[in-house]
Structure 1
């Protein structure tokens, strides 16, 4: 259910007239009511009766203008508002906040967030959970699997990976197709690999896209019953597809992840593998939904399309979003332990940092779009929450002192200048020098990992600290890249104490709390700004 309140509450930024085209449906214990403002009103009683009233949109325009004018006049005179419309905004905001609370599973705090529609999110989630993906009959023709193999991040093993895919044993060659995915940076490599491909295999190039978008491009071109997501630094066992096919035929799962065999060449890779195994061990348990692991993961193509696939907007975090979408759709995933791939782990800090950057960028983008990642149930940002809160509190202090300086400037009071300059210096340090310090922290912990490389328990602890530092560094970089610290139009704060009283209507006299002036307002309040024509 999507709610707009026209002139009283603009959420879309479009013309005020577009609210006439909205439809509102309310389901209650007495029946169902449906209204399209300016057109009709329907009521269906639970006992079987119904009513239908039509009216002219022009009459609604006149009534709306009269209602708003009466509200403004009453607010200027501090009188009672002679219309229930004054409480409409409060009611709608309360409804929207309730929707946010239900969606995010936590108490929502005013003002109403403007970046998403909680009722649309809940409706989408409900429709996915109540309707299963359509079962598709076994096809008479076409490959069983479409293997999606990005050429990026190959770590020198792309030829080994391709050779093993082309040499699958005990599985018919026509039963699978290979789709090599190129982001435009591997054109030379793609040309070298092209002669090795079979007739039905293809190379798909999408310049400038991220890994999740590459997978999406491959899935769009896939002809197989299952899409199989893997990486070019993963080398499949000779019977990987045979074992995977046997598992899927003997179980009622719509998808499955493969067993990942770690291959490590230095201490950093061993620590990385140890950290991965600790987490993935939990994901492999029966009923756990977090089995979308691109070391080797198969999913029915129609199910992939049903849930919307990988959302490239969220970069590497899109894999966790896909896992949550599959969970909400009631899709069951299994663990095909017999189907295995050898995963060659990262051997440098830069490789780890590149992965963390992509994941954190996607998570922060999702957080920016939806306000919470609680629906996903997995977060890197929780590891560096203290650092982010420190930057946010510094910005709040700077905003407070800046308002104090503006108010004092008119009276010749410049006592806040020193505090503003000091906080501004700290903010610059937190923004630019802070990034340098975060990078130095990563290098320091990487060196500590090297010193403890022969002691796995100590190495694992140091690697965990290194990973947390990399997440904190990535959060700083991504915050600036997404400009998440810039307030949206709905979040801008204007001090009504700096505005002449004759411009205001619906506000009570100014009061002070903790040396900060403020005004209470009526449910309907506004500013009458004297602007020149044009």
Structure 2
């Protein structure tokens, strides 16, 4: 079914993956064939997955059209992978990525060519997406996504890439690594971050308008959200070498995932129960018992309870959304739709993290808050009043050195205790200085150990968190 134009390479290659088309692929194709730009200046590259049901109809349409269309067949089934596959076969100077359930107005290519001529510094352009809806749920879905799109295009510092209608210079796309199928629909954000990291500008051209079909089908919304979140979590876990990885802010579910690590939570629980038994007074005993209670559930169930709560929260949000669709006003429905989407994303994030944990990719710490950075540039993270982390020790005697945050003196903290694999660190092996803690340890063989500690709560009236020891760095060095 491949038809190749024999003349010079076109200016634009329009890449249309025939997946996720919502029965609008034919409308999409005809709109591209109706562009005001001369046919010789662009090609339409239709990327066909193996399960495309419109093959016979496509043959008829191609037989009726000129030679501006090419069809390439791929074994891939995800539209991001199909886009990347199409880019490999494209011949144009500019690569135009779109979706088969979107269709352009006739002047889109002409406007984009003019914009690139006027803005030589633009590496890419995102166009304006106009929602098309047919029911109340679709209207709520469109309202949610359209607000997010406009925020990305006009406010956010780098989320300027909209894969519904994005055109880029070929060399810029190659420099940034292109769309990567392993990240699913999150590949859009990943590629946008790479453009920004390389200092490549993506312009926004609202005059170039696309129509985007929304269905309001919740099963499809869940499928898309699951795919996006799986890609997000995989990116955060694996893509540290991506140029734009430092721009992607991990979600709360990721930064707090260590608090659901059963072995670490169990170590804290046992530590606090021991300290409660040996506490010198009732006040300290109550403190240790309260901390033990905080870690009881994750020590027993791991992430089981948070995931169960997430599933129940999603089910409740679904019921509210259905009720709002039947009886609620437009505002009530919009709010219910956004709340349901947030619940779906939350559940899938926890599930994706659980899959990584089952594959052996767990967190190395428990009871630590997210990293913060001071104005001087020093990074640190607060711990709770009880925390634990995995640490690799070499064979023999070594020293664990903990640098506290520069504003904090460990000598001022009370009831500070350390344990290694459940064994209390003796006083002669513990040295506390104004901004450093050193612990002498011995390991019979090299391997991973769990370092746990507890302390009294820091008095911080303006901070609702339970704050203990703030750490800037921890490392294992040779004993001196």
- Common fold, TM-score beyond 0.5? yes
Structure 2 residue aligned with 1:467 = 341
Following superposition, the deviation at residue 227 of structure 1 comes to 0.6
CA distance change for structure 1 residues 178 and 429 in 2, over 3 Å: closer, same or farther?
Answer: same
Per-residue CA deviation, residues 459-483 of structure 1 (Å, 9 max, x unaligned), is 2222221121011111122123333
| Partner residue of 1:343 out of 212, 221, 224 | 212
1:441 to 2:316 alignment = yes
CA distance change for structure 1 residues 376 and 528 in 2, over 3 Å: closer, same or farther?
Answer: closer
Q: Secondary structure at the match of 2:154?
A: coil
Following superposition, the deviation at residue 312 of structure 1 comes to 2.3
Whole-angstrom distance in 2 between the partners of 1:368 and 1:380: 10
Whole-angstrom distance in 2 between the partners of 1:207 and 1:403: 54
CA distance change for structure 1 residues 347 and 379 in 2, over 3 Å: closer, same or farther?
Answer: farther
Q: How many residues are treated as equivalent by the alignment?
A: 370
1:59-138 matches, within 5 Å, as none
Structure 1 residue aligned with 2:203 = 334
| Partner residue of 1:160 out of 5, 20, 27 | 27
1:40-55 matches, within 5 Å, as none
Indicate if the aligned counterparts of 1:255 and 1:333 stay in contact, CA closer than 8 A: yes
Whole-angstrom distance in 1 between the partners of 2:197 and 2:155: 17
Structure 2 residue aligned with 1:24 = none
Indicate if the aligned counterparts of 1:310 and 1:322 stay in contact, CA closer than 8 A: yes
Higher strand share: 2
1:6-405 matches, within 5 Å, as 141-168=8-35, 170-186=36-52, 188-197=53-62, 198-252=66-120, 253-285=122-154, 288-370=157-239, 375=245, 377=247, 381-382=251-252, 392=260, 396-401=264-269
Give unpaired runs (5+ residues) of structure 2. Answer: 1-6, 274-292, 366-388, 401-414, 431-437, 447-480
Indicate if the aligned counterparts of 1:156 and 1:233 stay in contact, CA closer than 8 A: yes
* Larger radius of gyration between Structure 1 and Structure 2: 1
Whole-angstrom distance in 2 between the partners of 1:481 and 1:329: 32
Following superposition, the deviation at residue 297 of structure 1 comes to 0.8
Whole-angstrom distance in 1 between the partners of 2:149 and 2:294: 49
Q: Secondary structure at the match of 2:179?
A: coil
Indicate if the aligned counterparts of 1:321 and 1:376 stay in contact, CA closer than 8 A: no
Higher helix share: 1
Q: Secondary structure at the match of 1:483?
A: helix
Cα RMSD between the aligned structures? 4.1
CA distance change for structure 1 residues 211 and 171 in 2, over 3 Å: closer, same or farther?
Answer: same
CA distance change for structure 1 residues 277 and 433 in 2, over 3 Å: closer, same or farther?
Answer: closer
TM-score (structure 1 length as normaliser): 0.59
Indicate if the aligned counterparts of 2:19 and 2:77 stay in contact, CA closer than 8 A: no
Following superposition, the deviation at residue 370 of structure 1 comes to 4.8
CA distance change for structure 1 residues 211 and 445 in 2, over 3 Å: closer, same or farther?
Answer: farther
Whole-angstrom distance in 1 between the partners of 2:56 and 2:221: 28
Per-residue CA deviation, residues 344-378 of structure 1 (Å, 9 max, x unaligned), is 12411112112211221111112112569995645
1:505 to 2:397 alignment = yes
Indicate if the aligned counterparts of 1:194 and 1:203 stay in contact, CA closer than 8 A: no
Whole-angstrom distance in 2 between the partners of 1:495 and 1:256: 48
Give unpaired runs (5+ residues) of structure 1. Answer: 1-139, 406-417, 497-502
TM-score (structure 2 length as normaliser): 0.65
Indicate if the aligned counterparts of 1:438 and 1:472 stay in contact, CA closer than 8 A: no
Whole-angstrom distance in 1 between the partners of 2:294 and 2:334: 43
1:481 to 2:355 alignment = yes
Whole-angstrom distance in 2 between the partners of 1:307 and 1:372: 12
